[in-house]
Structure 1
Amino acid sequence: MINTTKYIIVGAGLSGLTSAYELHKSGEKDFLVLDSRAKIGGRIVTENHIDLGATWFQSHHTNVNAILRELNINKFPQYTSGSSVLVYSSMAPAHYFKSDPDAPSASRISGGSSALITKLAQGFTGKIITDTTVLQIEEEGNYIKVSTKDKTYIAEKVVLTVPPRIISRINFFPELPTNLIGTMKNTHTWMSNAIKVGLKFKEPFWKQKDLSGTVIGQVGAVTELYDHCNSDNNDYSLMGFVNEALRDLTAKERKNKILSYLSKYLGEEIMDYTFYYEKDWSKDVNTSCKTIKSIYMSPTYGDSLFADTYFNGKLIFSGTETSPVYGGYMDGAIYSGKLAAKKLLDS
């Protein structure tokens, strides 16, 4: 059976859902969103109030702030009061410091980052098809044929919002330009090498000890940790990033090292956690690939090749890695999603 629609958006992450939201808002109803995952959201994942994917944004991220206002979703500042911990040497005691209260503060989304995903999609959930991996995209005259394992879709235009490296797995007929394929394969996928950890507690013991919950580890098991209590301050957790050197350990060994490290710098109360979560994004086949590369400096995103259209204007690239504005951030995903929708609506 062949399914026909005007537009297809590949990827139900923040960029793809932003495009779909803009189409829906404009009155355009003839579109579908296809996603390989079982759930929408892409690299925005909130488990039991803990954000294991995209988390923070700042005041200069105008696209995030604007869409939160439009959707009537609240934000709140990242908690930084009290002493933070800098671990700079395994041979020296930790350095305790306090954040500058006048420094720009990062913000979080009330209800977790997934609250944005839920609100964006609520008007067109029936147009989202999950557990659907695109295998082939073929130009056929004035249309594009999109093939999955068991279905074929025909559309006038297609927007690709998943990471460029993941897009390079799709078979294209005719083939895309060689320089574009090379750029896709060499564009780092945001979060693809990260391991995140989250712990929940009955009480925010670190606040009671005048600690911010922030740990910056230049050595050791955890590279960054932050307070992750909710906006109502009645759900208590810590969340951060694990040293990638622990990836090859067993889950039990890694957990023991993380808990031992945090106990040393925040206190034995760490062992009183009620829930423990890990998310190794390198194991996520829809985000990472077999040969991941750790990136410790901000990679370059928004290559000009992604601004072009292909298949005679019928194939559009989007997604945070393609954005010339804050690429790799939620802001870049929203910017690119709005831009892709504009390209569709203006055509």
Structure 2
Amino acid sequence: MSEISSKYIIVGAGLSGLTTAYQLEKTGETDFIILESRNRIGGRIHTCDGIDLGATWFQPHHQNVSNLLDELELSRFHQFSKGRSVLVYSTMAPEHYFESDSNTPSAFRIAGSSSKLIQKLAAPFSNRIYLETAVSEISERGDALSLQTNKGIFIAEKVIVTVPPKIATRITFTPELSEVVMRAMDGTHTWMSNAMKVGMTFKRPFWRNKNLSGTVIGQVGAVTELYDHSNFEDNTFALMGFVNEGLRDYSSEERKERILDYLTKYLGKEIGDYLSYEEKDWSQDWNTSCETIKSVYMSPAYGNPIFTKAYMKGRLLFSGAETSPLYGGYMDGAIYSGILAAQKVCE
């Protein structure tokens, strides 16, 4: 296979990588390509049957998401929270019901799913995205960088690596990056890498008819968090949430049975009348997880300044949600880091 050359190569077609490309495209810089190891774009934004099994929400103060949605003419809407929510303290104690605080601004969702943002971002340069193209080595080659992949060799003046830092440690860098940099990469937790999400669609929102919000927060049980996941038009109804990590070792059918039994107890037997059932275990996603599965109950420290520097004679840059100094780990951080990367690569 002949070599393919481009001025800029972006490694990863997640939100950060696509934002970098979008920003370059806006300035008139079209000499770039994107290499993505998955068979789809979006990274940890992944939607199945209208259910966001990856990144889902953003907050009112996440201005980078809001600004980008406005620019792309995409709508947003508040997470549904009207009615009573369920808090499960213990399997030995009765559940507690509480009303949501209507004075507290709720999180936003993107109309049409989070993947709508991905599709709109990528549309202008979709023909410059190489799917199922995994980078195994990045090496110096004169005044350029050479990228070895399963699809052949790619050459670029500059490279922006936007995959999570820990995942990027799988890449061989020649000459080697310093031990300090590699240690920082390996020590950066990949957001969602230990998460498992589940979602179900329904013909009608039966929980709302019972004055339930669809929110179930469980300190014990099969599901740790559950929320109403109905669409923007409010004509397709769904529930979506996070599965207790203790169910990871069960078969998919056993896990489903335990989840449905658990939710039946708090929402009603109608839970069994689902139209579709989807789940995603991110710990089994090779592109997301390469670490020992462990619980992460607080947002890890992101935005290590070591990722703001350029390496390999100024030709290698890092970007991504985990590298962002602002709202690291969130969609807002991914967008912000993509904006910064596009600015830096053109300097």
What range describes the TM-score normalised by the shorter chain of this pair? over 0.9
Task: Say whether residues 1:207 and 2:213 are aligned partners.
Answer: no
SS in 1 for 2:207: helix
1:52 aligns with 2:53: yes
2:181 and 2:294 mapped to 1: Cα distance? 20
Which letter maps to 1:280? Answer: D
The residue type equivalent to 1:114 in the other structure is S
Indicate the residue corresponding to 2:225 in structure 1: 224
Aligned to 2:266: 265
The share of aligned pairs that are identical, in percent, is 61
Q: How do residues 2-151 of structure 1 correspond to structure 2 at under 5 angstroms?
A: 2-151=3-152
Structure 2 residue runs without a partner (length 5+): none
Structure 1 residues 287-312: Cα deviation after superposition (integer angstroms, max 9, x where no partner): 00152322111111011110111011
Please give the alpha-carbon distance, in whole angstroms, between the structure 2 residues aligned to 1:55 and 1:150.
Answer: 32
Residue type of the partner of 1:259?
Answer: L
The 2-side partners of 1:256 and 1:334 are apart by 38
Instruction: Tell me which amino acid in the other structure corresponds to 1:166.
Output: I
Aligned mates of 2:135, 2:213 — CA distance in 1: 44
Alignment partners' CA distance in 2, 1:77 and 1:291 = 35
Normalising by structure 1, report the TM-score.
Answer: 0.99
- What secondary structure sits across from 1:198 in the alignment? strand
Residue of structure 1 in register with 2:330 after alignment? 329
Matched, 1:340 2:334: no
- Aligned letter for 1:178? E
- CA distance in structure 2 between the partners assigned to 1:293 and 1:339 by the alignment: 31
What are the superposed Cα offsets for residues 70-90 of structure 1, whole Å, 9 maximum, x if unpaired? 000000000000000000111
Provide the C-alpha distance between the structure 2 equivalents of 1:165 and 1:294, rounded to a whole number of angstroms: 17
Q: For the residues of structure 2 that align with 1:293 and 1:162, how far apart are their CA atoms?
A: 20
Provide the secondary structure at the position in 2 that maps to 1:276.
Answer: strand
- Determine if the alignment matches structure 1 residue 293 to structure 2 residue 283: no
Distance in 1, Cα, partners of 2:299 & 2:155:
38
Q: Structure 1 unaligned segments of length 5 or more: list them.
A: none
Distance 2:290 2:247 in 1: 18
Give the aligned length.
Answer: 346
Alpha-carbon distance in 2 for matches of 1:113, 1:239: 14
**Aligned-partner Cα distance in 2 for 1:35–1:162:** 9
Alignment RMSD, CA only?
Answer: 0.7
Moved more, 249-258 or 32-41: 249-258
User: What's the CA shift for 1:141?
Assistant: 2.4
Post-superposition offset of 1:149: 1.8
User: Structure 2 length as normaliser, TM-score?
Assistant: 0.99
| CA-CA distance at 1:59 after TM superposition | 1.0
Helix, strand or coil at the partner of 2:104: coil
Q: Matches of 2:344 and 2:236 in 1, distance apart?
A: 42
- Residues 219-258 of structure 1: matches in 2 within 5 Å? 219-258=220-259
Following the alignment from structure 2 to structure 1, what is the Cα–Cα distance between the partners of residues 94 and 107?
28
- The alpha carbon displacement at 1:252 in A equals 1.1
Instruction: Write out per-residue CA displacement over residues 34-73 of structure 1, whole angstroms, 9 at most, x where no aligned residue.
Output: 0000000000001111000000001100000000000000
Query: What corresponds to 2:312 in structure 1?
Result: 311
